[in-house]
Amino acid sequence: MPTNRRQFRRSHRRTMTHTQQLELWLGCGHNGSSFESDAHRREVWFRFRDKLMRIWGKNGKRPMGWWLYEAAEWGLPPRHPGAHQQSILYEFSNALGVEERGQLEVEWRKEFDKTWREGFSYFHEDQIFFADIARELAWIAMDLPVVLHDRWMAERQLRGLAVCEEAVAETGSRHKRRAGTV
């Protein structure tokens, strides 16, 4: 039976392929871009921005599309900062919401406090490190912002807690001298 319906072709620009989605999340792959041009990538980013940010724009991290097309609005360079994006977003911009900043602080504080447990060690490049070196390596690995590190170290000093192993060793030897054991 004949029909008078017209067939409409939908532009491929109205959709986003899985490869394009991955590129907007992680960046261009080794096979080159899956977009026709930077303008096409930008158009797709802003069309699907809310969806992509809902999936990958959380926990102090942002997808590559955000870094390419929105980071400059927050005073950041339009390139992905790699492993340190959480601390960079926390310290150098207001791109993180209050809730997201709070969640990161809670997570960092928990990890920071773990580094002060007795016998703390950290494995790095086939070696096990202890004490201050282990703490410093752990703080780098957890991407702890310098402002939080400085604040929490000052809090430890105010509470009279050790801020390095040398202080612990020195205090211990003083106690032994007072007790007459040294």
Domain ranges in the chain are 9-95, 97-182
Left (φ > 0), alpha (ψ -120 to 50) or beta: where does 162 sit?
A: beta
- 9-46 pLDDT, tens digit per residue, is 555 556 899 999 999 999 998 999 999 999 999 999 99
Given this model, what pLDDT does residue 178 score?
Answer: 35
Distance CA 122, CA 134 (A): 5
Given this model, what pLDDT does residue 154 score?
Answer: 94
Residue 60 near residue 96 (C-beta atoms within 8 A): yes
Low-confidence ranges of the chain (pLDDT < 70): 1-3, 7-14, 165-182
Distance CA 147, CA 90 (A): 10
Given this model, what pLDDT does residue 10 score?
Answer: 55
Distance CA 182, CA 180 (A): 6
Given this model, what pLDDT does residue 174 score?
Answer: 34
Crossing angle for the helix pair 85-92 and 146-158, to the nearest 10 degrees: 80
Given this model, what pLDDT does residue 172 score?
Answer: 42
Given this model, what pLDDT does residue 160 score?
Answer: 84
Left (φ > 0), alpha (ψ -120 to 50) or beta: where does 93 sit?
A: beta
Given this model, what pLDDT does residue 170 score?
Answer: 45
Q: Compute how many other C-beta atoms are within 10 angstroms of the C-beta atom of residue 29.
A: 11
Helix (H, G, I), strand (E, B) or coil at 110: helix
Matching residue, tokens 């201050």: 132
